[in-house]
Structure 1
């Protein structure tokens, strides 16, 4: 199983350039990096990134994130993965563009 983080292109570019990040502004404000499961990521995109283009979908292996990854109750009472440390490029399993289509973001086949 993988977990997913959506970045705006400048946030992703910064992570690639520096090799680490504490996340987007919402992550900094909340004190952890928000992730979603495959079942949650489409709703996350629709709720927090509606109408935004030039996004990057990043996958991480929760087993490799260690004890800093906590599963906490969030939207709708569901458990969401939250990372309480910096995300590094070595944590990233893969990344892909998340384009905006006519009816929302277009996710990679097989993910949703």
Structure 2
């Protein structure tokens, strides 16, 4: 399984459109995803204070777009800014196209603890 972190509002929009398109698909050319082992670090680095988050659990075999395991790229950077040699042991799944809704096998609410820190992937 791979995981994409998003808001309830963005997921509701995807259901209306028939596919999920993150803002990063337009700005960077792909949708950021993580593994279960990586998601807490991502959430605590980039999503503290963001309300109504959910996790989309994706079966990579069902994703119609190309899924590539690559070095992490900061959400505000471009793929050209990546330095793969520095992070070869910590690759992240990137989806190069919209996510077809039938690739989402589970959706879970994702909330931080009282202090704002994300500590649990499943509550």
- Which deviations, in whole Å up to 9, do the C-alpha atoms of 1:54-78 show, x marking residues without a partner? 1011100122225700111126712
* Higher helix residue share: 1
Structure 2 runs not aligned, ≥5 long: 74-85
Work out the CA distance in 2 between the residues paired with 1:88 and 1:67: 8
Work out the CA distance in 2 between the residues paired with 1:80 and 1:12: 21
Spell out structure 1 runs of 4+ moving beyond 4 A.
none
Larger CA Rg, structure 1 vs 2: 2
**TM-score normalised to structure 1 length:** 0.84
Structure 1 runs not aligned, ≥5 long: none
Cα separation, partners in 2 of 1:102 and 1:61, compared to 1, 3 Å: same
**TM-score normalised to structure 2 length:** 0.77
Work out the CA distance in 1 between the residues paired with 2:5 and 2:112: 13
Question: What does 1:1-112 correspond to in 2, within 5 Å?
Answer: 2-23=1-22, 25-65=23-63, 68-74=66-72, 77=87, 78-103=90-115, 104-105=117-118, 106-108=120-122
SS of residue paired to 2:61: helix
